[in-house]
């Protein structure tokens, strides 16, 4: 029965969970929305302007990939409860699948995602904390497998379930406490002086298009229609930074050149792709 459960775990995890969804993800999240968006914009003349751009724009990147990876690892360590005939197959499949996930996300960030901002380490810290239950399951599996194997204990029935559960919770709590109190001691010390302490609003606004002024539509309308600024403070859209103009009198300091459009029509082979990258 245990061998059958191990095989079922392997069949469920690889390739059904580890690989197939991520092979289909480029089609479901990039290609199909693009084709449908082009079809809608091309057949509905009333869809124009920002609405038309929104229909053909790429989907923004989110942090959901952390959850995908942790879930895959959780499914992987569960097989340690069972006989080891399928263990190496599952972990080899896990490694190969995550190579594909990394390659896909790398290409998506460079070629598809319009923008992504990770301003703090909070998401990464919680991703590390989510690994605590995964490692706790590993210890629980070790306690279960060592039972009645000459390691000083042989427990049967529900007490064994309680011991394995206790091992899981003890490891999870200790793991979390180590992340919370011990790991920070090995981090890089904070600089004594803030390198940005002497920067003013002008310094930041000249390199960042997003500010309180450029993201406030009422202020932008007031600047154009009431105060008649020339040039007025324009509203910031991602990808339209070149529309912003400098007017230091009203606090507008950012300007940029229009981005060069990319054409993917000739990218039918790896050779043409490399040629376009070199150009």
The model's pLDDT over 72-81, given as tens digits with 9 standing for 90+, comes to 998 889 888 8
Q: Is the N-terminal amide bond of 15 cis, ω within 30° of 0? A: yes
Percent helix, strand, coil in the chain (nearest 5)?
60, 0, 35
In this predicted model, what pLDDT tens digit does every residue of 143-158 receive, in sequence order?
A: 998 888 888 888 888 9
In this predicted model, what pLDDT tens digit does every residue of 223-277 receive, in sequence order?
A: 999 999 989 999 988 778 888 999 999 999 998 888 776 665 554 455 555 565 5
Nearest to 162 by CA among 175, 143, 182: 143
**Do 125 and 210 reside in the same domain of the chain?**
no
**Do 206 and 175 reside in the same domain of the chain?**
no
Sequence-distant contacts of 215-223: CB under 8 A, at least 24 apart: 223/250
Placement of tokens 């490399």 in the chain: 274
Residue 178 forms part of a structural domain: yes
**Do 174 and 205 reside in the same domain of the chain?**
no
Placement of tokens 């082979």 in the chain: 269
CA-only gyration radius of the chain, Å:
27
**Number of structural domains found in the chain:** 2
Q: How many helices (H) and strands (E) does the chain have?
A: 11, 0
Could you say which DSSP state residue 191 is in? Answer: P
Q: Please give the pLDDT value at position 173.
A: 96
In this predicted model, what pLDDT tens digit does every residue of 171-190 receive, in sequence order?
A: 999 999 999 999 888 887 77
**Do 173 and 228 reside in the same domain of the chain?**
no
Has residue 116 got a pLDDT over 80?
no
**Do 133 and 177 reside in the same domain of the chain?**
yes
Q: Please give the pLDDT value at position 279.
A: 56
Q: Please give the distance of CA 76 from its chain centroid, rounded to a whole number.
A: 21
Report the mean per-residue pLDDT for the chain: 85
The angle that helices 87-111 and 64-78 make with each other, rounded to 10 degrees, is 170
**Do 9 and 141 reside in the same domain of the chain?**
yes
**Do 18 and 155 reside in the same domain of the chain?**
yes
**Do 162 and 206 reside in the same domain of the chain?**
no
Q: What angle do CA 97, 101, 104 make, to 5 degrees?
A: 135
d(CA 12, CA 76): 10
Q: Please give the pLDDT value at position 276.
A: 54
pTM greater than the 0.95 cutoff: no
d(CA 161, CA 216): 58
Residue 84 forms part of a structural domain: yes
**Do 155 and 205 reside in the same domain of the chain?**
no
**Do 100 and 226 reside in the same domain of the chain?**
no
d(CA 211, CA 232): 15
Query: Which segment of 12-26, 47-61, 128-142 scores lowest on mean pLDDT?
Result: 47-61
Q: What angle do CA 77, 79, 85 make, to 5 degrees?
A: 130
Nearest to 142 by CA among 114, 118, 171, 105: 171
What pLDDT band is residue 138 in, cutting at 50, 70 and 90? very high
**Do 17 and 46 reside in the same domain of the chain?**
yes
């Amino acid at each position: 029965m245990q061998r059958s459960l191990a095989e079922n775990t392997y069949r469920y995890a690889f390739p059904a969970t580890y690989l197939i969804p991520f092979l289909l993800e480029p089609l479901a999240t990039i290609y199909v929305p693009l084709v449908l968006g082009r079809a809608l914009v091309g057949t509905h003349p009333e869809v124009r302007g920002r609405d038309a751009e929104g229909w053909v724009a790429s989907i923004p990147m989110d942090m959901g990939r952390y959850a995908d990876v942790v879930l895959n690892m959780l499914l992987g360590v569960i097989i340690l409860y069972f006989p080891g005939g399928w263990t190496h197959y599952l972990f080899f499949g896990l490694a190969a699948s995550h190579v594909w996930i990394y390659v896909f996300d790398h290409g998506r960030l460079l070629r598809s995602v319009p923008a992504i901002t990770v301003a703090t380490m909070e998401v990464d810290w919680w991703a590390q904390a989510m690994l605590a239950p995964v490692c706790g399951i590993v210890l629980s599996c070790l306690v279960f497998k060592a039972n009645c194997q000459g390691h000083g204990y042989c427990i049967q029935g529900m007490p064994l379930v309680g011991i394995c559960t206790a091992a899981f919770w003890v490891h999870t709590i200790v793991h979390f406490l180590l992340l919370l109190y011990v790991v920070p001691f090995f981090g890089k010390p904070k600089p004594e002086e803030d390198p940005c302490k002497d920067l003013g609003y002008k310094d930041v606004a000249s390199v960042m298009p997003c500010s309180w002024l450029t993201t406030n539509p009422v202020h932008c309308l007031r600047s154009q229609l009431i105060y008649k600024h020339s040039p007025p403070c324009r509203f910031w859209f991602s990808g339209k930074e070149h529309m912003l103009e400098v007017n230091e009198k009203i606090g507008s300091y950012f300007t940029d050149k229009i981005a060069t459009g990319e054409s993917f029509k000739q990218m039918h082979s790896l050779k043409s792709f490399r040629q376009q990258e070199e150009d």
